Amino acid sequence: MAQQLLMPKATAVWLVDNTSLSFDQIAEFCTLHPLEVKAIADGESAQGIKGMDPIITGQLTRDEIVRGENDTAYRLKLAPPKVRVPEAKRKGPRYTPVSKRQDRPNAILWLVRSHPELKDAQISRLVGTTKNTIEQIRERTHWNSANLQPMDPVTLGLCSQIDLDLEVEKASRGMPRPEEVAEEERLLSAAQTQSWRPSSAPAEEKELDAAAVFAKLTSMRRADPEADEEDENR
């Protein structure tokens, strides 16, 4: 999760009153408009807001402020948090905002086509849908199947790329990689290539007997009288 500044307007009030930072520097650090910072400095805005020291809250260091005061082009950076709070694990289907629910069928179609290894429960966790809807889209019986277009759920904002990668990794565990399958189908082992024989070839080849072949040829010539006459004429 991206780190965010706590109470930006109260922090801006404190920076205006206690530092010589420019309005642009304070505005960018506190995610405000420079005119808002100018209004705070002129007493036209945030009159009832008490300034909050970002050094005490651990969001800014004294060295960072001094560096910004010495260089107006420098942009202040948030100090790294001292305590990392683990992100709460989500249980059950993901909640989908009403404004994005119309995009779910397109996302489901994309997941079904692009990642057929995903189970229905995984698709449901990613985009917050039901097993019945997934089956209808997979079997092309959904009421709006003719108008559906596969769209990446990450692009639609229905899930994060990290969540999608995790689900795909879980579904792919134990499955052979495509390159391994292709390699296995294409290549034979050395033993297989050396012992390979055509299906029509006999299991054992008989050794040729020169005497038997010569006798057979002689008998064939004797059976052909025209060949004997030609030999006598010669």
Tell me, yes or no, whether 15 lies in a domain: yes
CB 133 within 8 A of CB 124: no
Crossing angle of helices 120-127/131-138, nearest 10°? 110
Tell me, yes or no, whether 177 lies in a domain: no
> Which of 70, 86, 113 finishes a domain?
70
pTM metric for this prediction: 0.39
- Structure token pair of residue 182: 């292709």
Same domain, residue pair 65 and 105: no
- Judged by DSSP in three states, 47 sits in coil
Q: Write the DSSP symbol of residue 175.
A: P
The confidence score (pLDDT) of residue 49 equals: 85
One-letter amino acid for residue 80 of the chain? P
Q: Of 82, 62, 80, give the one whose Cα is nearest residue 21.
A: 62
The confidence score (pLDDT) of residue 22 equals: 93
One-letter amino acid for residue 176 of the chain? P
Tell me, yes or no, whether 182 lies in a domain: no
Q: Where are the alpha helices (DSSP H) in 80-160?
A: 104-114, 120-127, 131-138, 153-156
Same domain, residue pair 104 and 48: no
Q: What is the pLDDT of residues 176-197, one digit of tens each?
A: 555 554 555 555 555 555 555 5
Q: What is the pLDDT of residues 104-136, one digit of tens each?
A: 899 999 999 999 999 999 998 888 888 999 999
Say how many domains are in the chain: 2
The confidence score (pLDDT) of residue 205 equals: 46
The confidence score (pLDDT) of residue 21 equals: 93
DSSP-derived secondary structure for 62-97: HHHHHHHHH-TT----PPPPSSPPPPPPP-SSPP--
Torsion of CA 131, 137, 139, 143, to 10 degrees: 110
The confidence score (pLDDT) of residue 4 equals: 75
Q: Which residues of the chain have pLDDT under 50?
A: 1-2, 181, 201, 203-206
Tell me, yes or no, whether 114 lies in a domain: yes
Residue with the two structure tokens 């294409």: 186
Tell me, yes or no, whether 27 lies in a domain: yes
The confidence score (pLDDT) of residue 19 equals: 93
The confidence score (pLDDT) of residue 203 equals: 46
Tell me, yes or no, whether 76 lies in a domain: no
The confidence score (pLDDT) of residue 48 equals: 79
Same domain, residue pair 123 and 63: no
Report how far residue 25's alpha carbon sits from residue 134's, in angstroms, rounded to the nearest whole number: 50
Q: Of 56, 67, 55, 68, give the one whose Cα is nearest residue 28.
A: 68
> Which of 147, 172, 197 finishes a domain?
172
Same domain, residue pair 64 and 108: no
* Domain interval for residue 132: 98-172
Q: Write the DSSP symbol of residue 213.
A: H
The confidence score (pLDDT) of residue 16 equals: 93
The confidence score (pLDDT) of residue 44 equals: 86
The confidence score (pLDDT) of residue 65 equals: 93
CB 23 within 8 A of CB 38: yes
